[in-house]
Chains A and B, each alone.
Chain A
Amino acid sequence: EDQVTQSPEALRLQEGESSSLNCSYTVSGLRGLFWYRQDPGKGPEFLFTLYSAGEEKEKERLKATLTKKESFLHITAPKPEDSATYLCAVRAYNQGGKLIFGQGTELSVKP
């Protein structure tokens, strides 16, 4: 069964304190791993797509990496505006365009 597990569930950081979020997955043929940011009361906002092990993507203070079993979202010198829930999702070859989401990591960055 295709599955996505994110850790930790919640993460509290001080401004400037770098850290990483984890997304572990099992899927029968990965056709893309996606990172989204979701603010309270809003829909998810697309951040990155990763397709193959070893791939990396960067955007401002965020960097996403991918291995055959997991993905990391590294946050460098976070700011309070980075506070949000970060969602990881996978798309499998045999599931059409459907996404399977993890439970998310709720990030709080204090000034």
Chain B
Amino acid sequence: GAVVSQHPSRVICKSGTSVKIECRSLDFQATTMFWYRQFPKQSLMLMATSNEGSKATYEQGVEKDKFLINHASLTLSTLTVTSAHPEDSSFYICSAHQGGPFLSPQHFGDGTRLSIL
């Protein structure tokens, strides 16, 4: 079945540090990937849509300069949280479609727990 791998699973770092999270589709090509943020006991909130070979599309209220997305290949998208602060601490999850976005479900990675001290 479709597998989406996310790395690292957990990051603890000091305030002001930039953190990069990788999302890989392991056995299929993904022209589109999605990045979500989830706070404790809350549902997933879409941050941005990552498009291979073009700029990401950000949801309203998400700072483009704070959350940099790069989708340089059909199997890899990265999210960089720049100059992270304690309020950026959260659970970040990526997803990808196997097949067309209108024909198949999104498959999710296991998430990255980001803790900023």
Flag if B109 contacts A97 (CB, 8 Å): no
Find B108's partner among A32, A45, A98 (CB 8 Å cutoff).
A45
Which residues of the other chain, A, contact B108 by a CB distance below 8 angstroms?
36, 43-46
State the A residues within 8 Å of B (CB).
31-32, 34, 36, 41-46, 49, 87, 91, 96-99, 101-104
Residue of B nearest to A88 (CB): B43
A34 and B34 within 8 A (CB):
no
Residues of chain B within 8 A (CB-CB) of A103 are: 42-43
Q: Determine the distance from Cα of A36 to Cα of B111 in the docked complex, in whole angstroms.
A: 15
Q: B43 to A97, Cβ gap below 8 A? A: no
Kindly identify, within residues 1 to 17 of chain B, every residue whose CB is under 8 Å from any CB belonging to chain A: 4, 6
Asked if B75 CB lies within 8 Å of chain A CBs, one says no
What chain B residues lie within 8 Å of A36 (beta carbons)?
108
Cβ contacts under 8 Å, A32 to chain B: 102, 105
Specify which of B42, B46, B91, B107 is in contact with A98 (CB 8 Å cutoff).
B46
Most buried by A among B6, B106, B111: B106
Q: Are A46 and B105 in contact (CB under 8 A)?
A: yes
* Interface: B32 (CB within 8 A): yes
Cβ contact of A96, chosen from B44, B45, B49, B111, cutoff 8 A: B49
Q: How far is the CB of B97 from chain A (nearest CB, A)?
A: 6
Please state if B110 and A42 are interface contacts (CB–CB under 8 Å). yes
Closest 10 A/B residue pairs (Cβ): A97-B101, A43-B108, A101-B43, A43-B110, A44-B108, A103-B43, A101-B44, A43-B111, A43-B93, A46-B105
The reply to whether B93 and A97 contact each other, CB–CB distance below 8 Å, is no
Q: How many Å lie between the Cα of A97 and that of B49 in the bound state?
A: 9
